[in-house]
Each structure stands twice: as C-alpha cells, then as structure tokens.
Structure 1
Amino acid sequence: MIDLRALARDGRSVQRTVPVKSLGRLIDSLLEPVGTVTFEFQGECDDEGKLYVDLRVQGDLVLQCQRCLEALVWPCSVRNRLLLLRAGEELPEDELENDEVDALEVEPQTDLLALVEDEVLLALPLVPRHENCEPPVKADGNEEISPFAVLRQLRGKV
C-alpha cells in the first residue's frame, strides 16, 4: 500500500517485479501463471498542481490461443497516464476531452498490485490468437461432419 498522491507530489517513482502467480484475478485469464511482471509508477505534479502517475507494466503472459488451443506467449506492455483525484472530486473541465489521460480516484493508501492487475486485465486481447496456426483436428484423423452438412443431406431426401 502506498500514498500515490504523495508519490506524485514529490515526483518519486516506485518500481517492482512480482511473480505472475501473485496476481490472483489475472490467473483465471491465463493458460499458465508463470514468469514475472515488472511495473513502475512515476509521479508528477504539474504547474497547476494536478497530480499524475505514469504507469508502465512489462512482462510475458501465457495465454491460450483461441484458434489452435495451444500456449501463446503474449508480450504485455501497458503504458498509462493517470490523473489522481480525491474520492468524490470531479474531473477538471480541461481534462474531459483529453483521451491521453485516465482519471483515478485514490484513497490515502492504494494497493499497487491491484491497480497493476486492473490495467493488465484491461489490456488483455479479447480473443488471443497466433498469427498463423490451424484449428485442432481429431486424433483419429476423421474429420468431424458439420451439422449443416447433415441438414443439407436430410433436406435433399425430402
């Protein structure tokens, strides 16, 4: 737990490397919870007193290809700029149109791992697939007959 507002106000940074298996909610989206994820929070206070953190997350995650069902090593690379707001504080008017910054309400103490996990979960591909792979085939070599082919045969007999 850390005070992100103080980190930003002081212009400090925090960097850590954690095992993938320590990110409990992420594990459900992975084929294998192996390897590590490295993250860095770099704080900044601008001339207007607005507090920001730049978040970077790097690591290789093992997903399941949805085409061939084999392991797919996906290079996770997240970069996000977060405007830190107090609970209940409204987003400043000048930030409403800024797509390069996300606003984040923070409590006095923030769980960095939970925030990293949220960002990685949002970055995961909806349908992970290798660029070139084939769907799995039956081990006995017989191709499965499409249900539409069966319907086509039945329709022809009527």
Structure 2
Amino acid sequence: MSQESFVIDLRALARDGRLVQGEVPVTRLGRLAGSVLEPSGTVVFSFQGERDDEGKLYVDVHIQVGLALECQRCLGALEWPCDVQNRLLLLRSGDPLPEDELENDAVDALEVEPLTDLLALVEDEVLLALPLVPRHDDCEPPVKTGVDEETSPFAVLRQLRGKV
C-alpha cells in the first residue's frame, strides 16, 4: 500500500471483504514515537473486512511491532513485543450500539466516517496496548555509584557544636 492511500472507506472494505496490509516506521506515528524510549522499528498492520449474515460490518485488525520502552523500575531499555488483534464492529456516525454488542467483550464498536485514516487507527490501537508501567520481570532499581552513605544533617551539627 502506498503512503498516500492510508485513508480509505473502512465500511466499503468490510462490505467487500477485502484485505489491506501495510507497514510504516514508528517515527511516522508522532504520538507513539513520543511514548517510547527510542522510536525505531516498523509497525506492520492488516485490516480484514467482513460482512456477517445480519449485514453487520466488521474489520479484524492485526498489528505487530517491537518497541523500546523505558523500564520504570531500573530506567533501562525494555524491548516490548506488541501484537494487537482486535475485531471492530463498524457503525455509522450517530448509530446506536446494538444491544447484543454491549455484552460481547470480543468486539469493540467503532464509529467511522466515510473516510478513515488507517494510520491514526493503528496508532490508537498500539497506544491502548502499551503497558501502564513497563518494567522488566527481574531488575533492580538504580543505585547511586561513587557516593558513600549520605551524612546525616545531625552529624554535621554535632561536628559544628564540637568546634565552638
């Protein structure tokens, strides 16, 4: 898919049962690039459209990317493999959410305009998948190096009192 054609009619994609695939560098997704330690790598995504027997339109989203996050415990780099798989029920703007979908956790509803920016949707899905507090399974918090134990302020006062 070319760089210019990332804006499509998502409802038409679902109606026709088409597949759209693409990839984009993390640096092109501004909000995501600002949320990671190092904005490197490539986001690979696919959108598979489907129309069910009742005429409802769905899109299955699959996104993969390896991200470098900052471990919140040791402050070091954390390689985090992101693999998002989500099924979206496409609704027209203003349409109510069908009652049976309120109880279905396997599907998320999405209001779509006639044209949808796939990159914005990909970026939203990856940002939602990021861990709230990224950390290694086993690491230690950073320690001060080259500094002896801090001197107690009371010990300093005791030394001053002895000089008087």
The reply to whether TM is greater than 0.5 is yes
Q: Is the 8 A contact 1:137 1:143 kept in 2?
A: no
Q: Deviations over 1:57-109 (max 9, x none)?
A: 10100000001101101000101000000000011122111110000000000
Structure 1 residue aligned with 2:162? none
Distance 1:35 1:3 in 2: 27
Which secondary structure state, in structure 1, belongs to the residue aligned with residue 124 of structure 2? Answer: helix
Structure 2 residue aligned with 1:139? 145
Which secondary structure state, in structure 1, belongs to the residue aligned with residue 8 of structure 2? Answer: coil
Which secondary structure state, in structure 2, belongs to the residue aligned with residue 30 of structure 1? Answer: coil
Change (3 A) 1:84 1:136: same
Which secondary structure state, in structure 2, belongs to the residue aligned with residue 90 of structure 1? Answer: coil
Q: Does structure 1 residue 116 correspond to structure 2 residue 122?
A: yes
Distance 2:75 2:149 in 1: 17
Give how far 1:141 is off.
4.5
Structure 1 residue aligned with 2:17? 11
Q: Summarize the alignment of residues 9-158 of structure 1 with structure 2, pairs less than 5 Å apart.
A: 9-142=15-148
Equivalent position amino acid for 2:124 in 1: D
Give how far 1:20 is off.
0.6
Distance 1:81 1:45 in 2: 12
Change (3 A) 1:28 1:143: farther
Q: Which runs of 5+ in 2 are unaligned?
A: 1-6, 154-164
Equivalent position amino acid for 1:112 in 2: L
Q: Which runs of 5+ in 1 are unaligned?
A: 151-158
Q: Is the 8 A contact 1:40 1:55 kept in 2?
A: yes
Change (3 A) 1:93 1:76: same
Identity %: 74
Equivalent position amino acid for 1:93 in 2: E
Q: Mean alpha-carbon deviation: is it higher for 46-55 or for 91-100? A: 91-100
Q: What is the number of residues matched between the two proteins?
A: 148
Structure 1 residue aligned with 2:3? none
